[in-house]
Amino acid sequence: MNLTNKVALITGANGGLGMAVTTAFLEAGAQVAGVSPKIQDADFSHPNFKAFPGEIASGASAQAVCSAVVAKFGRIDVLVHLVGAFKGGKPIAETDDDTFRGMLDTNLVAAFYIVRAVLPDMRTRGSGRILAIGSKAAVEPVAKVGAYAASKAALVSLVRTVAIENKDRGITANIVLPGTMDTPGNRAAMPGADPSKWVHPSQVASMLVHLATDEASQISGAAIPVLGGEL
C-alpha cells in the first residue's frame, strides 16, 4: 500500500489508536500532519512527520489547523479523523446533560468542523480521502451507552452524506466501525475483560491506509466493521 507523496492530516495522532495509525501511514510513505493538543515532533522519529499542536473543538480552531497544514505541505490529500471518547454506564433515563453533550461534541461536532475545513480545497483539486473512526455501537447499540452510541451513529450519517455530496469531485468518505480495541486505555479501564477478543489497532490502521490509496478509489460511503473476536 503506497501513499508516497500523499499528505495525511491525522487527528488524535498520538492517542491509543493514533500511534498505530500514524506509524502505518508513515510506513506507507505519506507525509503526516499529526494533530492533538499536546503532540510533539518527537512523538514520531520520522522525517515525514510534523506535529501540529491544536484543538478542533470549534470551527475556527479546525480551520486554523487546516490552514497551518496547507501552509506547510501545500495541500491535504487525506483526512483521518480519530478523535473520540467514551462515557457510559447509565440508561438514557439517568444520563445527565453534560454526558450527552460531551459525547456529541467530542464524537460528532469536532468531526463536522474538521471535515468542513478540509473539503473546499479537496473539491477545488478534485481529489481527496476522508476517513473516520466510528464504533460497533453505532449500528449495534446496547444498554447504558445511549449517548455514545447516538453520537457514533450520527457520525456514520455525516460521513455517508459527505460521500454522496462529493462523489462528483473525486472525493471518497468512509468510516470504520471497530469493536473494543486493544489499547492501553481500554486495558486500564476494563482490567477484568479478555483482551484476546479485542481488535488490534494495527488491523484498523491497515484498513485506513488501504482506504486512503488509489486502489480504494471506488470505495465510498462505506461503514466497515472490524470486530475481532467480538463478532
Secondary structure (H, E, C), 95-126: CCHHHHHHHHHHHHHHHHHHHHHHHHHHHHHC
Find out whether 199 and 134 touch, Cβ atoms under 8 Å. Answer: no
Residue 198 is given by DSSP the state S
Domain hosting 134: range is 7-230
Q: Report the pLDDT value the prediction gives residue 229, as an integer from 0 to 100.
A: 87
DSSP H or E run through 154: helix 146-165
> Which of helix, strand or coil describes residue 27?
helix
Q: Is residue 2 part of a domain?
A: no
Q: Is 63 part of any domain? A: yes
Q: Examine residue 119 and state whether it is found in any structural domain, yes or no.
A: yes
**Could you tell me if residue 86 is inside a domain?**
yes
**Burial degree of 48 (CB within 10 A; 0-12, 13-18, 19+):** middle
- Residue 116, all three cell numbers: 468542513
Is 208 inside a domain boundary?
yes
Distance from CA of residue 59 to its chain's centroid?
17
Query: CATH number of the domain that 202 lies in?
Result: 3.40.50.720
Task: Please give the torsion angle defined by the CA atoms of residues 162, 168, 172 and 173, in that order, rounded to the nearest 10 degrees.
Answer: 10
Give, in order, the Cα–Cα distances in Å from 155 to each of 47, 99, 121: 33, 17, 22
**1 assigned to some structural domain:** no
Residues 87 and 137: beta-carbon distance below 8 Å: no
In whole angstroms, give the CA distance from residue 53 to residue 34. Answer: 8
pLDDT at 231: 79
Helix, strand, coil distribution of the chain in percent, nearest 5: 50, 15, 35
Q: Alpha-carbon distance 88 to 180, whole Å?
A: 14
CA distance 114 to 170: 19
In Å, what is the CA distance from 101 to each residue of 61, 177, 203?
Answer: 19, 22, 31
pLDDT per position in the chain (231 positions), as tens? 899 999 999 999 999 999 999 999 999 999 999 999 999 999 999 999 999 999 999 999 999 999 999 999 999 999 999 999 999 999 999 999 999 999 999 999 999 999 999 999 999 999 999 999 999 999 999 999 999 999 999 999 999 999 999 999 999 999 999 999 999 889 998 998 999 999 999 999 999 999 999 999 999 999 999 999 887
Evaluate whether 102 touches 112 at the Cβ level (below 8 Å): no
What domain count does the chain have?
1
Strand partners, 138: none
